[in-house]
Amino acid sequence: MTAMLYILSLRNISAWSISKANKLTARRTITSCSPSILSPTTNALRHQQCSQGGSQQAYSTNVRKMNQSIMRRFSSPSTNLVDGDQVEEEEKKVIKIPRKFNPVPFEYHQELTLRVVSLTNLGIGICRTQIDTIIDDKEQKDNSENNDSGDDSNSSSSGWVIMVPNVIPDELVRVRIYRNHKTYSDADLLEIIEASPNRIHEPKCPLSTICGGCQYQHMNVQTQREWKREQVEQLLQRVGGLDLNSFPRVKDTVGTDEVFHYRSKITPHYDAPSKNGGLIGPIGFKEKMSRRLVDIPSCAIATERINEKLTQVRDEVRADAKEGRLRRPKKGATLLLRDANEGVITDNNEYVTTKVDGLTFRFLAGNFFQNNPFMLPVMVDHVVTAATKPSSNGTIMTHLIDCYCGSGLFALGSASSFDVCVGIEVNDRAVEEARKNAELNDIKNCMFVSASAEAIFESTDPVRSATVNSGDDDGEGSGGVLVRDFPRESTVVVVDPPRKGCSEEFLEQLYEFAPQRVVYMSCDPATQARDAKGLVGNGYEIVSSQPFDLFPQTRHIESLVVFEKKRGDGETDNTGKD
């Protein structure tokens, strides 16, 4: 794809100097709350301060201290209407080039006009350009003499990669370089020259261009979901090494109408208070492509009840810091706001409850539990449907193993459709919660084991079936059945691992156990695709792939892939018994 590029020379005609002077004027009036020609990030920061009712003087003081490095990156360099030498000298005075900045292949704050070709899994835009189109003959000669690294990544026919946030594929954008890596560069977005028809020009949150919590507020929801479907499909091909024709088309992303104010848990952060006066800086989330914090007085994707509580919590933290009442006065901290049946809870160790498909789940507020109560029942229904479907030869699924089971969501949600369910989870507290949840919902055919996932196939704890529980516990066979003796042809393994995916040890034992079906839910389609490669290579085929928009406005994707065991001719060991 052709990448357009305009190079601005510091010694060029006065029109460029006039443009720079205009930007200087805008920067000198930065305390105004009216829009300016500064970058979207700078405007968002200014909107944030003004919306809180602060005076212009308060903004000028606080934002300069709180976001000095951001302003350096996003504010235009000042220049005077003088000749080229003076312009260059003035620019050097205003822009402080980072000491470790690598000037190859781009200079610091060099501006480029590029076409967006794709998005990364982190939601960052990918632009490409050919290096030889941006380095003139003299610079190219100098580089060849002074840089003999042998790195030919720049010469790839696909072009040098520039990463830019807040963009949509096919848009034409003007960007400014602030970091060069070994094989790509990072840039700030300065201007949308040709906008996508799918762009939201006024996102719901004025801080969405800088806050790292949301990556996609500048896209309409339909585009977000189309892109998430495409990403799952691309990852299965690129990371999983699977041919597009070897598995069914990835289904359209499933979501609900609640695309804002849906998130039932947030965890804002703050850094250590100042030594003089105990003042707290930003309370919020990390800036995009940075570790700096952005102050977030309210969150557009958090529930309304959380936002009401957040105002109170922020005031309390600042008051506690000023009065010296913080538990860790020399360190920052992470706050918790969990919206549950009991209200908005801020204590990690307080138990809360929520309902999913008629079942009550009780868990510690600080423990993991999916944070979109509108989408969660939809996901559980898809897992249960995938797990209970008869095999191609008509065999009914009777046994379920839920690995990485957490508080028992999928095992308990599926229990009524199986004779036996067993869950395994390394978190002892989560296992205790799962057992209590089984009791709370009067479910008797589920057992939960506290161990790493790979231990489940060697468990010596017998599991009782629904038929055993309904009979005489003292009767013959009341001890139940071991997991390793589950009938392979009617056993389903559900996996919902952490972001890093399944461990090699677990996968090796899964291949050896060889259940009829694997229902794989993942919060990271990249590691899911990696594990899919191993499953397909060990006798399984993908029968369906379904993405979920669990977190609208963000790049996060929940992906459900169902694998079925391919039974070859003459294969008779379907029970798993010797």
Q: What is the average pLDDT across 8-25?
A: 34
Higher pLDDT, 91 or 318: 318
Q: Where are the beta strands (DSSP E) in 86-170?
A: 111-119, 125-129, 160-164
Alpha-carbon dihedral of residues 201, 204, 207, 211, nearest 10 degrees?
-100
Q: Which residue has the tokens 């996102």?
A: 203
Active site residue 523: yes
Q: Are the CB atoms for 547 and 235 separated by under 8 Å?
A: no
What value does the CA radius of gyration of the chain take, rounded to a whole number of Å?
Answer: 28
For the chain, what is the mean pLDDT?
81
pLDDT for residue 459: 77
CB atoms within 10 A of CB 251: 15
Query: 534 falls in which pLDDT band (50, 70, 90)?
Result: very high
pLDDT for residue 38: 38
**Which helix H or strand E contains 59, and what residues bound it?**
helix 56-66
**Which helix H or strand E contains 110, and what residues bound it?**
none
Query: 8 falls in which pLDDT band (50, 70, 90)?
Result: very low
Nearest to 337 by CA among 361, 364, 317, 307: 307
Residue 54 clears pLDDT 90, i.e. is over it = no
pLDDT in tens, 271-281: 999 888 789 99
Q: What is the average pLDDT across 302-315?
A: 98
Residues 6+ apart with CB under 8 A from 490: 391, 395, 396, 397, 398, 399, 516
Q: Are the CB atoms for 363 and 338 separated by under 8 Å?
A: no
Is 425 annotated to bind a ligand? Reply is yes
Q: Which residue has the tokens 């632009």?
A: 127
Is 404 annotated to bind a ligand? Reply is yes
CB atoms within 10 A of CB 63: 21
Residue 7 clears pLDDT 90, i.e. is over it = no
pLDDT in tens, 551-564: 999 999 999 999 99
pLDDT in tens, 60-114: 345 334 544 443 444 333 333 345 455 455 555 577 899 999 999 999 999 999 9
Higher pLDDT, 181 or 91: 181
Q: Are the CB atoms for 337 and 265 separated by under 8 Å?
A: yes
pLDDT for residue 86: 54
Is 370 annotated to bind a ligand? Reply is yes
Q: The whole model's pTM is what?
A: 0.79
Of 299, 405, 502, 523, the catalytic one is 523
Tokens describing residue 42 = 């700078």
Query: 132 falls in which pLDDT band (50, 70, 90)?
Result: low
3-state SS track over 272-323: CCCCCCCCCCCEEEEECCCCCEEECCCCCCECHHHHHHHHHHHHHHHHHHHH
Q: Distance between CA atoms of 470 and 23, rounded to whole angstroms?
A: 78
Q: Distance between CA atoms of 199 and 119, rounded to whole angstroms?
A: 15
Domains belonging to the chain, first-starting first, are 14-223 (no CATH), 239-251+370-565 (3.40.50.150), 265-352 (no CATH)
* Upstream peptide bond of 377 is cis (omega within 30 degrees of 0): no
Looking at this protein, which amino acid is placed at residue 344?
V
pLDDT for residue 110: 96
Q: Distance between CA atoms of 410 and 389, rounded to whole angstroms?
A: 15
Positive or negative, the CA dihedral 391, 397, 402, 407 is: positive
